[in-house]
Structure 1
């Protein structure tokens, strides 16, 4: 019985034979066959060698250790993702792939597509009219990460009269086998309908609906992981009547719709019109406590290092759920003793999203070599934020007042969250706490000129736009009456721009050198422009657009045995900003903090090589070195949350030399693949990431915190020293088998990740804002709170079977 089961497991994995990415787990399905060696060397390949494949990203996106990485120092939002000229969210990319959209990805600023370029690269999806040889797909998968079982189907159909329909669905369900409380129940369904008319016009309609419910895990401190002996300890869950319940659950459904029309205007000019957008809800649950002790079990006040009692330490070491997890039954009991009003409750932080975009793109072929692309777009994003009661945990109601001010001697008589509906009793499903909308409007024009010859390619792109951001409050906060909290705030205007120049020369059909320059300004995130957007219309004093400057130099070589790509890059970001609400221990106040003038740079080199060792063996190598660091000391302004009085004004945060979190000094990856006879094959990969640091805190490096708290060299060092994370090293392996039939193909694969079983590999980390007060005789000492950590998952598996026909 054991041997058949083992054989079944070995056969199961490689899902989509035509699937380029499968949830990030197995992207090799389209490459599980050896490709024929190409010996020819003709001028037809001049343009082929110019095409940017991003070999480094192809090799490392999947094979590097599962740690949080900021490639080239860039943030996740720096990558532009677009479909037919409009920007789409990352949440829809898997559905677009499943529907058969072709994907073009360019790292950095050397964009080869119609997009003008972005600091973090461009990912462009395009639906082509080409019909696949095997238009139907059915697959199933098993895994131990995030969910247990998944299935997907897709089909491309000719529905008559020139219409072609593509439909797809992907479902996932089950609990994570490693982290308690983590689960996924998700279904993504979509269709793409297109028709090509006489004369060359084409109509395209797309709709994607992705509802999902996911239980998540929270970061914690090193003490909690050490005491429990579990690097995957998750403080978000607990037992309720003997069953596991997670307090942090994401529920979202944000459908996407896109309609596009392409038409030729003249023999040399064509026009593409696109209208699209997404609208829906995102909810994230969290426990709320009202004039009561925090229910989070890993709060520093509950840990043995603070309590100092042996009983707490023993309970943590024995993983007593009454100490280490959320005590749901106790919270319900406390509510019932309170006489009807909730002391604890489960809240939903809700975002109601409405994003509409329209784009007009013209393409004019002046001759066989010069192409002009020009057009314009408009975009309006409206995101409404509010809290909604999910579960009163046995209580009857909650009064909608500011619970943080109940015991405040100065502001305890200004408690109303909604002054126009005072002392409103909240029940399940009611909104409370805060209610406001961010509105972002932007319109712009673009022009791109592209010259192509056999050897030379040159591009110049210019984008100019005008944007406005404002907040509209729907509650009148008693602390900030009238227009201070309710109604529209002042409008903040920005004039973003992008200027990109690039050129490349093919010395031979195998050797190509290119360079690119970028200067851009973009609107900051709306959240970074308001001290307390939940109930205050006050904007930051010096709003400014973020400035981005970048340069790249790339060399590419192609050959029948070796393909090589080397890119040197330099990136500089200035005038970035962020805001945050937190409890300031030294001031003894809830405060709002604005950080302005953030600046960092990244200098580095990336290299990738594909080596054809033989007809059946291939080797892929990738490596990078970079120096990413803050180059400016930003200014920190701290205001009292209750009355906007100044706690610290434009204090200098000494960030010089600190490294942005997730920006490693070095990465390396190797992948060895074997393509055996009769469809068998295997892969072995290794990845390394070194020189990582925890995300630094701006507040801790101001004089008020570091100098006042750092009364000794050791304490001062604790405030300003950035914690370095251990280097990460993992191994992975996969085994696959392809079965060929008349006009169809069955693919199965088994993949194992983190074969070393390293349980101490940190996924990400960030420094805490708060500091701890320590009474030592007649003196008061301060020390920073411990760094918050999230560990990577241990050894895990992924099994998939797909049939394409």
Structure 2
């Protein structure tokens, strides 16, 4: 019997620019890019294109001086600051700020494990697990950029509503004056309680091994709001209704020992799991409204493996299959057709992952090791999900049960073909050095679901170029990297060791390799290039070093 208690806490922060009644400061804002002027102002587009290709920092970088100057000159009077009716505050109100999106998780758990030999090579392993998770989510003022204060109101709500209360992000702090380090905008917790138990039965024999397993779990989650939002005063403060999901899973596998060096194994599993709490709420920053008809996700998976084991050669070939059904996909973005910031939720999202993997390692003359791995597969959407679109600030239902034609589209965001080849030298004097060549291909950007609808192409015919521009996937070219690594170990005395490890990645400094990205959710059906994809590129040459002392 083994009992394990654990705890984890931390902080995650992502910074972002925000602005109030001011021009967008981002260099890649669509109106500042060549694609915006290509048709109507080609000469301006040519100049902009030259600025970007030559790296003109006046165009490609944020003009921080301009942001500070705008804040220095913005003398402003705030009525009823911090709810003090009849008073006012005069000072430089920041037009531009740097804010932090904070997520501070806390996780505590208890595991009890029990293992027993039953008889005749049968073994039982079982256990129970309790986990309490809380994620504190809020926005923090990082830098006023030369201004004296920020007012915690929603400028889009000021545009959409005639009353001043609707624009308040926290009705408990009317016209809340924000200084550096203050929490503002939103403040809520996501609570998740999980209870599960499992039992596995393993058996072994001279010709085959096997196992079967069962898992039962219950997941409860809810939102706790710490601000009363002016747009949703009855759905933002306090605890939401608790959501409960009972789930189960079964798994099994067999290992056939053809000989001592040739093995075949087959594994399979079917399980259900609770929807992710971060996708369950339509817009958790402002309210506790849930995605309609939430259900558990279903997973069916299996694999078959052939393994070879010799003193100098180890290899394995695997074929795998995984079908994940009934998922939720949720995003928020500005929708040009509706002239509104919207919450876009897809339900009944099914995905299929299937492919093969090959791994091999060969030792030559006891000091040289050749290794290689290769994988190829198809990772696709396997059905046509349904989408619901609501206005973020009003919860107005814009579209419901819209069919998304994603079936057979690549999921994107990952290579569907990858390989690596390595060579390593192990010295008898306790040092080693090696090199790896890595290749990635068949990469696509994740598709924007709203572009794969009848509505997106309703104004075109099949022969129009806009038809294919709207529906085609965005493909990326393949690429490779070369990495070096090495290390050494020293035995000091009485079981004490000093170890050094060093690695250098992408030694060719290949920074033109696009490793991923995404199609912008905001798009113009008649001019897809106006909101071009965002790409991520391979880091240049990077290095890492580590020294460890064992005693």
Same fold (TM over 0.5): yes
Which residue matches 1:333?
69
Which of 280, 284, 308 is the aligned partner of 2:14? 284
Unaligned 5+ segments in structure 2 are 76-91
Which residue matches 1:274?
4
Q: Quick one: distance in 2 between partners of 1:734 and 1:413?
A: 60
Which of 144, 148, 152 is the aligned partner of 1:396? 148
- Say if 1:291 and 1:406, in contact at 8 Å, map to a contact too: no
Q: Quick check: 1:426 aligned with 2:178? A: yes
Which residue matches 1:635?
386
Which of 299, 309, 324 is the aligned partner of 1:558? 309
- Say if 2:35 and 2:530, in contact at 8 Å, map to a contact too: no
Which residue matches 1:467?
219
Which residue matches 2:126?
374
Deviations 1:733-786 (A, max 9, x none): 445566677766666666443344433211212111011377xxxxxx665621
Q: Quick check: 1:548 aligned with 2:299? A: yes
Q: Residues 346, 320 of structure 1: CA spacing in aligned structure 2 closer, same or farther, 3 A cutoff?
A: same
Deviation at residue 552 of structure 1 after TM alignment: 0.9
Which residue matches 1:512?
263
Deviation at residue 797 of structure 1 after TM alignment: 4.3
- Say if 1:629 and 1:656, in contact at 8 Å, map to a contact too: yes
Which residue matches 1:208?
none
Which residue matches 2:352?
601
- Say if 1:639 and 1:647, in contact at 8 Å, map to a contact too: yes
Cα RMSD (Å) of the superposition? Answer: 2.5
Q: Residue 159 of structure 2 aligns to a residue in which SS?
A: coil
- Say if 2:124 and 2:199, in contact at 8 Å, map to a contact too: yes
* TM-score for the superposition, normalised by structure 1: 0.62
Q: Quick one: distance in 1 between partners of 2:68 and 2:29?
A: 20
Q: Whose strand proportion is higher, 1 or 2?
A: 2
Q: Quick one: distance in 1 between partners of 2:482 and 2:528?
A: 42
Q: Residues 798, 341 of structure 1: CA spacing in aligned structure 2 closer, same or farther, 3 A cutoff?
A: closer
Q: Residue 695 of structure 1 aligns to a residue in which SS?
A: coil
Deviation at residue 660 of structure 1 after TM alignment: 1.6
Deviations 1:272-328 (A, max 9, x none): 122222234322221111122222111111123325426544543443333211222
Aligned pairs for 1:340-419 (under 5 A) are 340-367=92-119, 369-408=121-160, 414-419=166-171
Q: Quick check: 1:521 aligned with 2:257? A: no
Deviations 1:615-668 (A, max 9, x none): 333211211221221111111110011221121111111111211223433222
Which residue matches 2:538?
792
Deviation at residue 559 of structure 1 after TM alignment: 0.8
Q: Quick one: distance in 2 between partners of 1:749 and 1:379?
A: 36
Which of 654, 662, 686 is the aligned partner of 2:437? 686
Q: Quick check: 1:477 aligned with 2:229? A: yes
Q: Residues 759, 284 of structure 1: CA spacing in aligned structure 2 closer, same or farther, 3 A cutoff?
A: closer
Q: Quick one: distance in 1 between partners of 2:297 and 2:205?
A: 36
Which residue matches 2:419?
668
Aligned pairs for 1:55-134 (under 5 A) are none
Deviation at residue 488 of structure 1 after TM alignment: 2.1
- Say if 1:768 and 1:784, in contact at 8 Å, map to a contact too: no
Q: Which has the higher contact order (CA 8 A, sep 6+)?
A: 1
Which residue matches 1:502?
253
Q: Quick check: 1:436 aligned with 2:188? A: yes
- Say if 1:653 and 1:698, in contact at 8 Å, map to a contact too: yes
Q: Quick one: distance in 1 between partners of 2:53 and 2:371?
A: 44
Q: Quick one: distance in 2 between partners of 1:516 and 1:785?
A: 45
- Say if 1:709 and 1:782, in contact at 8 Å, map to a contact too: no
Q: Quick one: distance in 1 between partners of 2:550 and 2:377?
A: 42
Deviation at residue 708 of structure 1 after TM alignment: 4.6
Q: Residue 334 of structure 1 aligns to a residue in which SS?
A: helix
Which of 15, 21, 24 is the aligned partner of 1:294? 24
Which of 240, 251, 264 is the aligned partner of 1:489? 240
Query: Which has the larger displacement, 650-659 or 305-314?
Result: 305-314
Q: Quick check: 1:704 aligned with 2:429? A: no
Q: Quick one: distance in 1 between partners of 2:463 and 2:454?
A: 14
- Say if 2:270 and 2:299, in contact at 8 Å, map to a contact too: yes
Q: Residue 595 of structure 1 aligns to a residue in which SS?
A: strand
Unaligned 5+ segments in structure 1 are 1-270, 775-780
Q: Residue 27 of structure 2 aligns to a residue in which SS?
A: coil
Which of 36, 58, 69 is the aligned partner of 1:306? 36
Q: Quick one: distance in 1 between partners of 2:446 and 2:266?
A: 32
- Say if 2:469 and 2:528, in contact at 8 Å, map to a contact too: no
- Say if 2:323 and 2:353, in contact at 8 Å, map to a contact too: yes
- Say if 1:709 and 1:783, in contact at 8 Å, map to a contact too: no
Q: Quick check: 1:581 aligned with 2:338? A: no
Which residue matches 1:322?
58
- Say if 1:496 and 1:521, in contact at 8 Å, map to a contact too: yes
Q: Residue 406 of structure 2 aligns to a residue in which SS?
A: coil
